[in-house]
Structure 1
């Protein structure tokens, strides 16, 4: 089984990269949607309904599948030894990915909170929008530079 997968490794890696790009795009976009939703849409208005539909589809159609594909491909690559758990950079990368997943879950809960009028402020969502950037930098530096 592993021999068959070994030939597919470059394809798995390419799929992983594409999934991560999609996941990151969604993680950047959903907080921005939430900012505009809480600042501009009155509860029950047509704009409110439009934002809810956009947020739900982004979460269900792009974010969730992209995260699942990124994790699946990443775990397959780990099984091939792509991550060095004997070095700090390997742990930094996996912990940042876990934090990114926790942020993803938090965004899903916030999407639902905003839909029922219990969301945070636009300023809080603007600040939250910086979290995936910081985590992405940690992940990229850990994988590419491997400083520790």
Structure 2
């Protein structure tokens, strides 16, 4: 089980790197006006999304394996799983935003800046749940 934990950590870190950086690319993309810059950001966003997708799948899969293997119980793990489900939905939404930007449809820079903060808040909540394991 130790090797599963190690790989799980690696894939979670890789996935979160994408979750943190992709919305930042959206901010930069929304600030760019020239056509060459737009095309460059489309390529960067698409590559980052495609690179982090296997990490996301493996992080969630190995997390489920560890959860079922260790048999964690309690409301804290249920909340954690729900937060991970929100992160997965958020990640799918980032893919939608990638396609929107590739099609030339931009939103405001403020929108992308707000979207950029979502994974930070969820990560903080998950870390608190895992460390404290509150009894509700």
TM-score tier by shorter-chain length is over 0.9
What's the counterpart of residue 80 of structure 1? Answer: 69
What's the counterpart of residue 14 of structure 1? Answer: 6
Displacement after TM superposition at 1:83 (Å): 2.9
Could you tell me whether the CA contact under 8 Å between 1:35 and 1:126 is conserved in 2? yes
Displacement after TM superposition at 1:82 (Å): 4.7
What's the counterpart of residue 36 of structure 1? Answer: 28
1:138 to 99, 116, 125: 125
Could you tell me whether the CA contact under 8 Å between 1:92 and 1:138 is conserved in 2? no
Displacement after TM superposition at 1:145 (Å): 1.1
What's the counterpart of residue 59 of structure 2? Answer: 70
Residue 40 of structure 2 corresponds to residue 50 of structure 1: yes
Q: Which runs of 5+ in 2 are unaligned?
A: none
The Cα offsets for residues 50-102 of structure 1, whole Å up to 9 and x where unpaired, read as 101100000001x2011011011111112213532xx2211110000000001
Could you tell me whether the CA contact under 8 Å between 1:28 and 1:129 is conserved in 2? yes
Query: Matched residue of 2:94: which SS?
Result: helix
Q: Which runs of 5+ in 1 are unaligned?
A: 1-8
Greater RCO (Cα-Cα under 8 Å, separation 6 or more): 2
Larger Rg: 1
Aligned residues: 135
Instruction: Report the RMSD for the aligned CA atoms in angstroms.
Output: 1.1
TM score, norm. by length of structure 2? 0.94
Query: Matched residue of 1:143: which SS?
Result: helix
Q: Aligned in 2, Cα 1:80/1:112: closer, same or farther, shift over 3 Å? A: same
Query: Matched residue of 2:70: which SS?
Result: coil
